[in-house]
Structure 1
Amino acid sequence: MTRIPRRAARVGTTALAIASVAVLTACGTTSGSTDGGEAATELGEYEGQVSLLAWPGYVEDGSNDPAIDWVTPFEEATGCVVTSKTYGTSDEAFNLMKTGEYDVVAASGDATLRLIAAGDVAPVNTDLIPNYEGIYDFLKEKEWNSVDGVSYGVPHGYGANLLMYNTDEVTPAPTSWDVVFDAAGDYSGKVTAYDSPIYIADAAVYLMAHEPELGIENPYALDETQFAAAVDLLKAQREHVGEYWSDYLKEIQAFETGDSVVGTTWQVIQNVLAASGATTDVVLPEEGATGWSDTWMIGSEAENPNCAYAWLDYIASPEANGAATEYFGEAPSNEAACEFRSEGSCEAFHAGDAEYAAQIWYWTTPIAECVDGRTDVECVDYAGWTTAWQEIKG
C-alpha cells in the first residue's frame, strides 16, 4: 500500500485532554517488557523518549503547520520526547521495523500480519491502555490486528475503498463494481485502479458475488484456483485502465481533467472534488468493498516500552484520535472522537456506522495459512500477490 497524507480536513489546535495519559505513570517497579513475544503485565517509569514510525500526517508536532499539533501535549504530559519517521508504503514500513530501531509503528492491514509473523511486533496488554475501552467494538480483535484472540495493537482510523464516477459520463449511476470489471470496456482508457498488490482483493470481492462457485469466503484468503480467477479478471481489466494511482492528488487531477471517469477512490478524494465543483460522486457498491483499518503496534525490540504504551493510550484518546484522523482524512476509531472533530466530518466518513463498516473487507496481509479458517489448502501469500501484480501491470 502507498499512502499520501490526506489533508482535505484540517483541524485547529485542540486543548487535548491528557488526564488519561497520567494513568499510565505506573507505580510498579517492573518496566513494560516486549521480550519473548509476551505482552507487558505492568508498566514502570517513562524512559523519556519514544520513536514512532508512521504514515505521513499521523504524527504532527506543529513543524509542518503550527496549528496542527497533537504531539506536544503528549510530550508535556509524559516527558516522553517523540522522534518520528514517515514511510510511503507498507513494504517500506515492514523493512524498517526489521531494524529494531522503532518503538512503535502505525501499520495498515497489508503489513500487520507480516510484522506479527516476523516477530517484529509484540502482543499488547489492552488492560494497560485505558482508552482502548472507547474503541469501536467492530475494530477490536480482528484478523488483521490479532492472532488467536491476542491483540497486537490499538486501532487508529479506518475507511473504505469506494467507487468514484463522473456523473456526466457514467449513467445511470452505478451500483456495482461491474463498471470497472465486466463492463470496463464501456469506459476503456478512462478506468482507474489502485496501484498495489492488495488491489487483487478488490477483484476477489467482485468474484465473491458474481462467481460464487469459486467459494471465496474472504478476499484475502485465496487458494491457487481462486487467486488465478482474480488475477485473470485484473488482466482483462488492464487493457481498459488509463492509470493506476497511489498518489491521491493525481487521482483528483485525473477526474478534474476527465482522463479518468470511473474507478476506486477514497471518501476524502470525493470531498476535495465536491468542494471544487467537480461532477463526481461515490458509492459503496452492492458487492461491498475493501478498505483499511490502521493499527498502532509496539516493536518487539522496543527500547522504550513504557513510553510506547503511553503513546498508544494517548493516540487512542477521543481528543487525539479525533484530531489525527480528521487531519488525515478517515473515520476515527474512538467512539467519542467525533465530539472533537469539525461538524459533519464524522458523518462524511460514516464513523461508527457498524452496518456500513460490515460491508468493508479491511486490508489483511495474505498468508499461506488461510485467514478464512481453512486448513485443507494453502492460500497464496503476499509474495505471490506481489509477483502477480507485476505481471498484471506488465
Structure 2
Amino acid sequence: MRRNTLKALAAIGLSAAVVAALTGCGTAGSGGSGGSSSGPLQKLGTMEGTVSILAWPGYVENGSNDPKVDWVSAFTKETGCKVEAKTFGTSDEALNLMKTGGYDVISASGDASLRLIASGDVTEVNTSLLKNYDGIYTFLKDRAWNTVDGKHYGVPHGYGANLLMYNTEAFPTAPTSWDVVFDKASEHAGKVTAYDSPIYIADAAVYLMAHKPELKITNPYSLDQKQFDAAVSLLKDQRKNVSEYWGDYLKEVQSFQSGDSVVGTTWQVIQNTLAGEGGKTDVVLPSEGATGWSDTWMISSASKHPNCSYAWLDYISSPKANAQATEFFGEAPSSAEACNYRTDCGSYHAGDADYASKIWYWTTPIAKCLDGRTNVKCVDYSAWTTAWQQVRN
C-alpha cells in the first residue's frame, strides 16, 4: 500500500534544458549499458547475476518484512539475478537517487516519468523482448507518461484513481460531484480533507473543466496562466474548510474513524481498510472524473545489468507476480490474467476501460502544453510547487 510514501512533493521543476529535451525530436537515454541514443537493447544476453531496483515501498518484497509476502525470491530462483532494493518516499527523492547512476530499474509514477525521460536518466525499452508485455491492458500502454515520440520508456505496473470518500451518516445520499469539497465545502467546514501534494492542483482543474467551461481546460496537467490561476484560487477558497491535508494513508483512516473528516479525496485501499474495520464510509468516482496514478517500471540509461533489468520488467509483469505486488500495494493490476490470482479486482475496477477513461493519470506539467496548444505556454511543475506552498500556508 502507499502508506506514507506519497507525501507532498518537493520543489523540483523542469529546467529549460529538460523542457527542450521533451519538446525536441527525441529523448533517448544518455548512453549506459541498458540503452543509448542509438536505441534500446536489441537482444537479451547472459544474466549478470544482480539487479539494483529503486521502488515505492511494497513493490519489491522478499519476505524480510513479512515471510508471507515474497515475490522476489521466485524471481531470483528463476533468473539467477539477486535483487538489491532501495525504497523511496517521494518522486523527487527517487529522481535525485537515480541521478547517482547506482540503480538499474525504477518504479516511477506519472509525476516523475517524463522528468526521467527528459533528463536522459532512463532508456527506451524494447518491449518485444518482454513476453508478458502483450497481456498488459491496452489502455495503460502508449500513454503520455510512458511513451514519447512513439518510443516506449517502460512497462505499466498498476494503477488507481483518487476517489471521493464520504461519511455515510454525514451524507445519507451519496454525493455524485466534487462540489462537496469545493463549491459546497462550507457545508462541512473543518471536516474536509485533501491530498497533500502540488499535483492536487490537477484535481481542482478537473472540477473546473466541468463547471467553468469558459476556461476551456481540456487537460488538468496542461494549464495556461489564466487556467492555472483559477485552479489555485479554487484551492485557496477550499483551504478555510479543510481539516487536514494528508500524505500518510493511516492519518486519513484515523481522521475518518474519529469523525474529524467526513469528506475528501482518497484511495480505494483506504476505503477497503475502513470497511474492514467497520467504518461508516464509502467512495465514489464523481461525475467530473478524477485524477489518478499509473506507475511504470523503467530501466536506467546507465544500467550495468541490462539483462537482469529486462528480466525484472518481464517477471513483475507476469500475472502472478503482478497480482502479488499490486494487491499488497493496494491498486489495480496491469493485466486481466493477474486477476486470476486476486479476489478483489472488482473493487479496484481492474480492466474496466470505461472506468479507466475517467481517470486523468498523473503527468508532469511542463511549459509545452500537453493538450497540443502552441500559441501559449503552460505552467510548469516548479510553479505548481510554489503555488501549492502558498495554498497550504
Q: TM-score, normalised by structure 2?
A: 0.91
**Aligned 1:93-104 pairs, distance under 5 A:** 93-104=94-105
Distance 2:38 2:101 in 1: 14
C-alpha separation between the residues in 1 aligned to 2:191 and 2:81? Answer: 49
Match of 1:372 in 2: 371
d(CA) in 1 for partners of 2:220 and 2:348? 23
Q: Does 1:387 align with 2:382?
A: no
Q: Percent identity?
A: 68
Q: Shift of residue 301 of structure 1?
A: 0.7
Q: How much has 1:373 moved relative to structure 2?
A: 1.5
Could you tell me which amino acid in structure 2 is paired with residue 390 of structure 1?
A: Q
CA drift of 1:377 comes to 1.4
Per the TM alignment, residue 358 of structure 1 is displaced from its structure 2 partner at its CA by 0.5
Kindly indicate whether the alpha-carbon contact (under 8 Å) linking 2:133 and 2:155 is maintained by their aligned counterparts in 1.
yes
Partner of 2:255: 254
Local SS of the residue matching 2:308: helix
Q: Does 1:165 align with 2:189?
A: no
Tell me, what secondary structure is at the counterpart of 1:4?
A: coil
Aligned match of 2:187: 186
Counterpart in the other structure of 2:80: 79
How far residue 42 of structure 1 moved from its aligned partner, in angstroms, is 1.4
> In the alignment, does 2:315 pair up with 1:314?
yes
Task: Provide the C-alpha distance between the structure 2 equivalents of 1:335 and 1:146, rounded to a whole number of angstroms.
Answer: 22
Deviation at 1:36, TM superposition (A): 2.5
Counterpart code for 1:136:
Y
The equivalent of 1:351 in structure 2 is 350
8 Å contact 1:366–1:381 — kept in the other structure? yes
Q: Is the 8 A contact 1:53 1:87 kept in 2?
A: yes
CA shift for structure 1 position 378: 1.3
Instruction: Give unpaired runs (5+ residues) of structure 1.
Output: 7-30
1:56 is matched by which residue type in structure 2? P
In the alignment, the residues of structure 2 paired with residue 322 and residue 32 of structure 1 have an alpha-carbon distance, to the nearest angstrom, of 30
Cα deviation code 1:300-344 (max 9, x no counterpart): 111111110000000000010011101111100022000111x2x
Query: How many residues matched?
Result: 367
**5 Å matches for 1:1-394?**
4=4, 33-36=34-37, 38-341=39-342, 343=343, 345-394=344-393
- Distance, in Å, in 2 between the alignment partners of 1:4 and 1:184 is 26
CA distance in 1, matches of 2:361, 2:369: 15
CA offset at residue 83 of structure 1?
Answer: 0.2
1:367-389: CA deviations, max 9, x gaps? 11111121221111111111110
Q: CA RMSD in A?
A: 1.4
Q: Is the 8 A contact 2:193 2:263 kept in 1?
A: yes
The secondary structure found in structure 1 opposite 2:378 is: coil
Tell me what 2:14 maps to.
none
CA displacement, residues 270-322 of structure 1 (integer Å, 9 cap, x when unaligned): 11111111111100000000000000000111111111000000000001001
State the secondary structure of the residue aligned to 1:168: coil
Is the CA contact 1:188–1:241 (under 8 Å) kept in the aligned structure 2?
yes
Contact 2:228-2:379 within 8 A present in 1 as well: yes
- SS where residue 327 of structure 2 aligns? helix
CA offsets per residue over residues 36-79 of structure 1, 9 Å max, x none? 36211112111110000000000000000111110011101111
Q: Which residue of 1 is the match for residue 29 of structure 2?
A: none
| Displacement after TM superposition at 1:137 (Å) | 0.2
SS at 1:366 equivalent: coil
Mapped contact 2:105–2:309 kept (Cα < 8 A): yes
2:345 counterpart SS class = helix
* Residues 201 and 384 in structure 2, CA contact (< 8 A), matched pair in contact too: yes
Separation in 1 of the partners of 2:338 and 2:293? 18
Q: Is the 8 A contact 2:5 2:248 kept in 1?
A: no
What secondary structure sits across from 1:193 in the alignment?
Answer: strand
Preserved CA contact (<8 Å) 1:3 1:55: no
Whole-angstrom CA distance in 1 between matches of 2:221 and 2:5: 25
Write the deviation string for residues 205-236 of structure 1: whole angstroms up to 9, x where unpaired: 00000001111110011111111110000011
Look up the SS of the partner of 1:156 in the other structure.
strand
Give 1:3 deviation, angstroms.
5.4
Secondary structure at 2:62's aligned position in 1? Answer: coil
CA distance in 2, matches of 1:174, 1:37: 52
1:379 is aligned with what amino acid? C
| Structure 1 residues 330-367: Cα deviation after superposition (integer angstroms, max 9, x where no partner) | 100022000111x2x00010000001101000001111
Amino acid at match of 2:121: D
Counterparts of 1:350 and 1:366, CA distance in 2: 27
Contact 2:34 2:304 in 1 (8 A): no
1:372 maps to amino acid: D
Distance (whole Å) between structure 1 residues aligned to residue 285 and residue 151 of structure 2:
31
CA contact (8 A) 2:55 2:88 kept: yes
Structure 2 residue runs of 5 or longer lacking an equivalent are 7-31
- TM, length-normalised to structure 1: 0.91
Distance 2:230 2:3 in 1: 27
8 Å contact kept, 1:5–1:57:
no
